[in-house]
Amino acid sequence: MKIDRLTTYLVPPRWLFLRIDTDDGPTGWGEPVVEGRAATVATAVEEMADYLIGQDPLRIEEHWNVLAKGGFYRGGPILSSALAGIDQALWDIAGKSIGVPVHQMLGGHVRDRVRVYSWIGGDDPREVAVEAAIKVEQGFTAVKMNGSGPLRVIDTPAQAAAVAERVAAVREVLGPDRDVAVDFHGRMSLPMARRVLPLLEEFAPMFVEEPVVPEVSELVGQLVAATPIPIALGERLYNRWDFRRVLPTGVAVIQPDLSHAGGISEVRKIATMAEAYDVALAPHCPLGPIALASSLQVALASPNLLIQEQSLGIHYNAGSDLLDYLVDASVFDYTDGFVARLTGPGLGIEVDAAAVEKAAAVGHRWRNQVWRRDDGSFAEW
């Protein structure tokens, strides 16, 4: 069996899918994308195809090594995301070629189902409380919310109190038997985070995510020392060497993204490395169905999994969503806040190739917003 062809599809709302065809074996699907830079990643995939065409698709580790290191320059979101999508597609081919799900090739499942959380949006406390109530009604046992809008380096007591008020409103709806996680998208400075996090302690978040930008991840130990709230980060780290720098800080949860951090091969290794530091795994996944299936394959096989992110109904998905590209969308049915083990071969989903081709004819040019503070200066989004 040899790799015959790589084809990328730019599909709404903001994704890039990859199809790898083999000469006489199965077809594999991957999702190589960085949100807002999909076309750049597609070009990186196209360049990597020069090496892959004609190769045996089952030598995944060998191809990972060559593609990650063989171009001399390495790491970062573009190259690591291109490699991630290729890696997912190769695992899909490997599983399909012997008729087993990927997690079986990773040593088999260590859990029967995977707990997932759902996003709630909006900055108004009443809004997030209403949305949290809807998620509880749908059976979810955990939600995640944005902690704040744009913040000054050191912001006012009122801004800090507003963050606490939003989290309080959600905690009141959830009660003590469900969880809320609070994502800051790196919007706080270290000193602002030291001011805000103590105000959230009484609401016992499952974790606070990216309180500060990834550039200062190695300093997160200052926050760990300042609050009992578990700190999570890692959606903007791209390989095991990036994670090695943050694991000693005392971070509680790492969030590698299956479509950014080198794919199934690499996230599996990152998860194992984290386990040695007593750090839990919660794969980042605001992306599409192939990224989610890849995440679930690792989640099913990883003893230190905390919870899985998934994007159904997320605020980014206006117009098209996670289930639009699947032949059988029931694989992602959520029951009591869990998704059942994927039992199909490969990634465990069947991508609707016709739907993908149709959507790729539309394409997208998704970009995130650029936020400004009230003095006109750039603010973290």
Which residues would be at the binding site for Mg ion (CB under 5 A)? 183
Is 315 assigned a catalytic role? no
Handedness of CA 306, 171, 250, 239 (dihedral sign): positive
Nearer to Mg ion, 131 or 183 (CB): 183
Closest distance between Mg ion and the C-beta of residue 357, in Å?
31
Nearer to Mg ion, 291 or 301 (CB): 291
Closest distance between Mg ion and the C-beta of residue 115, in Å?
18
Closest distance between Mg ion and the C-beta of residue 295, in Å?
14
Is 109 assigned a catalytic role? no
Burial class (CB in 10 A: 0-12, 13-18, 19+), 351: buried
Separation of alpha carbons 282 and 51, rounded Å: 32
Residue with tokens 């077809």: 27
Closest distance between Mg ion and the C-beta of residue 19, in Å?
28
Closest distance between Mg ion and the C-beta of residue 74, in Å?
24
Nearer to Mg ion, 183 or 242 (CB): 183
Catalytic residue among 63, 109, 284, 364: 284
Phi, psi angle pair for 119, to nearest 5°: -75, 140
Catalytic residue among 63, 103, 109, 185: 185
Q: Taking CB positions, which residue lies at the least distance from Mg ion?
A: 183
Q: Which residues are catalytic?
A: 185, 284
